[in-house]
Structure 1
Amino acid sequence: MRAFDLAEDRGMLNFAREHKSEAGYLDVAANAHGAEKGLLVHRALGRVEAARPHVVEIGPGGGAAVDHLAAQLAAEPHQDRGVRLTLIEAPGVVSRSLAEAVERFNRVGECVLRHGFAQDLADLLVEPVEVISASALLHEVYSYGGGYPGLHAMMRTLPAVLTPGGFFCYRDVFGVEAPSLHERVIQSYNSRSWLAFLRMFTPQYLSEGRHPYHHAEDELVARQNSRIVPVSELDPATCAVITAPVGLFREIQRHYLTFRDQVWRSGALGFTPVLDGELAADWIDFRAGHKRVHYRLTDKVSRLPEQRQIMLAAMSEPYGDHHTIDSDIFDLLTDVALIAFLGAAEAGDAECARVWESWLLREGRETYAYLTLDHLLTAFAVHSAEAGTDTLLLPAQDGDIARVDRHYYNRFLGKRLANPLPDAKHLVLFRNIPREDTASLRRAFDVVRDHCGKPSLARIYAAINRGDNGTP
């Protein structure tokens, strides 16, 4: 999602527009998982009755979902519905791969690209539409658009720009399996690269990022050798035991993965793994997250010690113009390079510091796990009820809530952390259900019952029955 552009003159600080919209990011890193991004849209189109349904995608990135939807429509026996697709991207953001995806979609439907801000959605659409799709929209709204108030305002806007019975398709990072993001847990870290990352990233995130961990009971307490130490002074050579909210650990874990991948893409370690396309999915065992990594050597100085470089070469096989290696071995060897990279960045090495700062600007202030699934479903129901449309946003039937595990990342995390949190994406298909459709509301309540606690169910019930902000 790159449509939520946030300029300082709109009172929205710290959004790295230049880094978020650079071609290398949109055309490569933000142009994956098209089938996953487009799954709910295709499913929603099968449930709307409009002759020429209108779909809006907010923040199309590199166009992966556009391509997937075009392929799905082309494969259908009847293409007489004339699907209209409007893409909303931030002003000034241009992607070559997106432009090509728009051309391909126009062979099976009608696709237009408009530039504007996601928070101005009601002004950008001249009439309500049948389907709206977004990936990672809400965590950027939360991080850059006013925290929870901005998040809730977006939830109140959506029912007004959807037709009654329309759908909002949402995909984002999975939160945590806990009643609350503020539940305190204990984690231990003995990996040098993770400890170095904790020391560099966590103080910056807590001081500059928009996050909800401000209460006294949210304090992060780190211990090494049984002594409390500031997280900024962690010794990467000593195991650390840290107590903090589970949501904060979720942030640290997710940010480490995005940091590692960006350093890999940069080539600063002396090699560049292939992280996108068919070669990135060369699975040995998909369910176990075990695969072959394809990589190329760069002309930059390797961050691996000479002995490790020899081992990397010995463990690899030639594959065309590059090499391939078992992912477990590759992860183990390249951890050493990451340790050297972080040390160099901290010491002021120009190239390493540039890559670190670039990642920090793009990703380092964002909060991914702003809501558990329980709280997400409840917030949508309660705040959509306040929109004045006489509709509510709720998943309406079984299968409208799905979780897609990231098997490779989970395998990697399981080998590095004592108690890793599961890495996954959540997919939720919300229907804009009219209040008068009591049968659909009853089914929707049954759907969310399996995912929400009793207090949340009470708030949803109150919202359905016109309670004030979910309070009976």
Structure 2
Amino acid sequence: MTLEGFARAHKSNVGYLDVAANSHGAEKGLLLRRALCRVQNAEPKAVEVGPGGGAAVSYLASHLGADDIGTLHLTLVEAPGVVSQSLSLAVEQFNQAGGTCVLRHGLAQDIGSILSGPADVISASALLHEVYSYGGGYSGLHAMMRTLPTVLRPYGFFVYRDVYAVASPSLHERAIQSYDALAWLQFMRMFVPQYLREGTHPYHHASDDILARQNSRIVPVGELDVNTCVFVVAPIGLFREIQRHYITFRDHVWRSGVLGFTPILDGQLAHDWVDFKRGHKRAHYTLTEADWLPRSQKASLLAMSEAYGDHYTIDSDILDEVTDVALTTFLAAAENGDTACAEVWMSWLAREGRETYAYLTTDELLTAFAVNSADSDSETVLMPVQDGDIFRAERNYYNRFLTKRLANPLTDAKQLVLFQNIPLSDETALRRALDSVQDHCGKSNLARAYTAINSRR
């Protein structure tokens, strides 16, 4: 199986893989460390699938001496053709810290043939949505869920981290949202038809149809009037896609410098908080030579900023307000064929435009892992077993931004789950596992998991 449509060049771009996607190392490595501390092995074997720029590898390297986990042997599995300079440096750092780390290339769904033996812990961050998007949709996901137990030791762990979906019984549940911000309307007009036409997504049923109204008249999404508020009825999962894609698009345009400035989105200056819990911070940025925007827009930005060494700083709320105008101008220029803007837009589409971020709710995720892993040849099942094995990490800054732009935004967060590979013969562990998921799963899905487990015992 190949990753059809997987933009290797864009995924390997230094500005993306080594910088934009190479953050939150502590969050990526948190559950992996927790799992390793629960593994009874003097020389544990761990695997990270999709290591990206190596943030989690660096995090683990810095904690090797502090944790009582023995000599850690780490295998990294990256997609063919994806190369990262920062990952190479992280591997070197890990080996110097006393562990052993090797990098192998292959597809996540082929992990059974990539690994030389069973692992104690397998970790995957921001991977499953790519397996869904490029590796066969739900069937590819379910096949991987059946494979994972076979490459884990009994009582080993699978660490999952990805975009939080929605707090809803189903991604297909219909909801209504309104949009009146120019940049959002322009983005929806350009992105949604392309995503529904070319992306890998589950919204194909008649009840998944998207219905947009402006001035009480039904309007095709690709023909939205950006100067008129729109009311949209669609699956809540599709709204999640629009919202998440807009965030990645905005950050991509910011990083490109095409707007005449480049916010500093990484490192210490990216976390200059005024109020962390409320997501309010001071934004830092540098000017670029891009000059296609009206001079008045750059002048307005500078007028509300302060010099800070070799760059500028501004309140993040004000930056969001000012740059919404610039993003609207950018999108219109890209739609009308401006070379520089169209190139930035198309590079983002190639990297992100076909991907589906929110493919399973927490309920569906836990149930899918239980049902499919129980159907593997390993005589085990993947389920969390302790309180704290299921949680989410809020994105306070993005949630603040979304609250100020949308009438009813969906929570932006990362979802983290620590699954244990429980033998089907261990009745005590299975009972603990079912207890740990009962507050996260509906009764019908609990019954599905219970049936799948007991039909194999």
- 8 A Cα contact 2:382 2:419, kept in partner: yes
Selected match of 2:396 from 376, 390, 407: 407
What is the alpha-carbon distance in structure 1 between the residues aligned to residue 15 and residue 334 of structure 2? 22
What is the alpha-carbon distance in structure 1 between the residues aligned to residue 420 and residue 456 of structure 2? 20
Q: CA deviation at 1:116?
A: 1.6
Q: CA deviation at 1:90?
A: 2.0
- 8 A Cα contact 1:271 1:302, kept in partner: no
Corresponding residue SS for 1:73 = coil
Selected match of 1:297 from 287, 292, 296: 287
User: Residue 390 of structure 1 aligns to which amino acid in structure 2?
Assistant: E
User: Residue 18 of structure 2 aligns to which amino acid in structure 1?
Assistant: D
Selected match of 2:29 from 32, 38, 57: 38
- 8 A Cα contact 2:8 2:81, kept in partner: no
Q: CA deviation at 1:71?
A: 1.1
Find out whether 1:255 has 2:245 as its counterpart. yes
- 8 A Cα contact 2:283 2:319, kept in partner: yes
Corresponding residue SS for 1:398 = coil
User: Residue 280 of structure 1 aligns to which amino acid in structure 2?
Assistant: A
Q: What do residues 122-146 of structure 1 show as CA deviations (whole Å, max 9, x unaligned)?
A: 0111110100000121111111111
What is the alpha-carbon distance in structure 2 between the residues aligned to residue 74 and residue 197 of structure 1? 48
Report the equivalent of 2:143.
153
Selected match of 1:310 from 299, 312, 316: 299
Report the equivalent of 2:207.
217
**Identity over aligned pairs, percent:** 67
1:86-165 alignment runs, 5 A limit:
86-106=75-95, 107-165=97-155
Find out whether 1:17 has 2:37 as its counterpart. no
Find out whether 1:448 has 2:437 as its counterpart. yes
- 8 A Cα contact 1:23 1:94, kept in partner: no
Report the equivalent of 2:374.
385
Q: What do residues 234-263 of structure 1 show as CA deviations (whole Å, max 9, x unaligned)?
A: 011000000000000000000000000000
What is the alpha-carbon distance in structure 1 between the residues aligned to residue 127 and residue 456 of structure 2? 28
Selected match of 2:335 from 346, 349, 359: 346
TM-score for the superposition, normalised by structure 2: 0.98
Corresponding residue SS for 2:63 = helix
Q: CA deviation at 1:11?
A: 5.5
Q: What do residues 284-305 of structure 1 show as CA deviations (whole Å, max 9, x unaligned)?
A: 00000000111000011153x4
What is the alpha-carbon distance in structure 2 between the residues aligned to residue 90 and residue 229 of structure 1? 41
Find out whether 1:458 has 2:447 as its counterpart. yes
Structure 1, unpaired ranges of 5+: 1-9
Q: CA deviation at 1:118?
A: 1.3
Q: CA deviation at 1:227?
A: 0.3
Q: CA deviation at 1:433?
A: 0.5
What is the alpha-carbon distance in structure 1 between the residues aligned to residue 318 and residue 65 of structure 2? 41
Report the equivalent of 1:7.
none
Q: What do residues 24-46 of structure 1 show as CA deviations (whole Å, max 9, x unaligned)?
A: 21110111000000000000011
Report the equivalent of 1:55.
46
Find out whether 1:267 has 2:257 as its counterpart. yes
User: Residue 199 of structure 2 aligns to which amino acid in structure 1?
Assistant: G
Corresponding residue SS for 1:447 = helix
Corresponding residue SS for 2:160 = strand
What is the alpha-carbon distance in structure 2 between the residues aligned to residue 166 and residue 467 of structure 1? 20
Report the equivalent of 2:274.
284
Q: What do residues 194-241 of structure 1 show as CA deviations (whole Å, max 9, x unaligned)?
A: 000000000000000011111111100000000001000001100000
What is the alpha-carbon distance in structure 2 between the residues aligned to residue 348 and residue 431 of structure 1? 51
Find out whether 1:373 has 2:336 as its counterpart. no
Q: CA deviation at 1:17?
A: 1.3
- 8 A Cα contact 1:295 1:323, kept in partner: yes
What is the alpha-carbon distance in structure 2 between the residues aligned to residue 394 and residue 225 of structure 1? 49
Q: CA deviation at 1:12?
A: 4.2
Equivalenced residues, count: 456
1:154-193 alignment runs, 5 A limit:
154-193=144-183
Q: CA deviation at 1:467?
A: 6.0
What is the alpha-carbon distance in structure 2 between the residues aligned to residue 120 and residue 216 of structure 1? 34
- 8 A Cα contact 1:394 1:430, kept in partner: yes
Q: CA deviation at 1:93?
A: 2.2
Of residues 435-444 and 309-318 in structure 1, the stretch that sits farther from structure 2 once superposed is 309-318
Q: CA deviation at 1:308?
A: 3.4
Selected match of 1:325 from 297, 302, 314: 314
What is the alpha-carbon distance in structure 1 between the residues aligned to residue 296 and residue 19 of structure 2? 32
What is the alpha-carbon distance in structure 2 between the residues aligned to residue 66 and residue 157 of structure 1? 24
What is the alpha-carbon distance in structure 1 between the residues aligned to residue 383 and residue 266 of structure 2? 34
- 8 A Cα contact 2:281 2:316, kept in partner: yes
What is the alpha-carbon distance in structure 2 between the residues aligned to residue 341 and residue 251 of structure 1? 21
What is the alpha-carbon distance in structure 1 between the residues aligned to residue 360 and residue 314 of structure 2? 38
User: Residue 129 of structure 1 aligns to which amino acid in structure 2?
Assistant: A
1:240-251 alignment runs, 5 A limit:
240-251=230-241
What is the alpha-carbon distance in structure 2 between the residues aligned to residue 249 and residue 458 of structure 1? 29
- 8 A Cα contact 1:87 1:114, kept in partner: yes
Report the equivalent of 1:201.
191
Q: What do residues 269-324 of structure 1 show as CA deviations (whole Å, max 9, x unaligned)?
A: 00000111111111100000000111000011153x43332231121111111011
- 8 A Cα contact 2:386 2:436, kept in partner: yes
Find out whether 1:432 has 2:392 as its counterpart. no
Displaced runs of 4+ in structure 1, greater than 4 A? none
User: Residue 325 of structure 1 aligns to which amino acid in structure 2?
Assistant: I
Of residues 389-398 and 19-28 in structure 1, the stretch that sits farther from structure 2 once superposed is 19-28
What is the alpha-carbon distance in structure 2 between the residues aligned to residue 246 and residue 285 of structure 1? 30
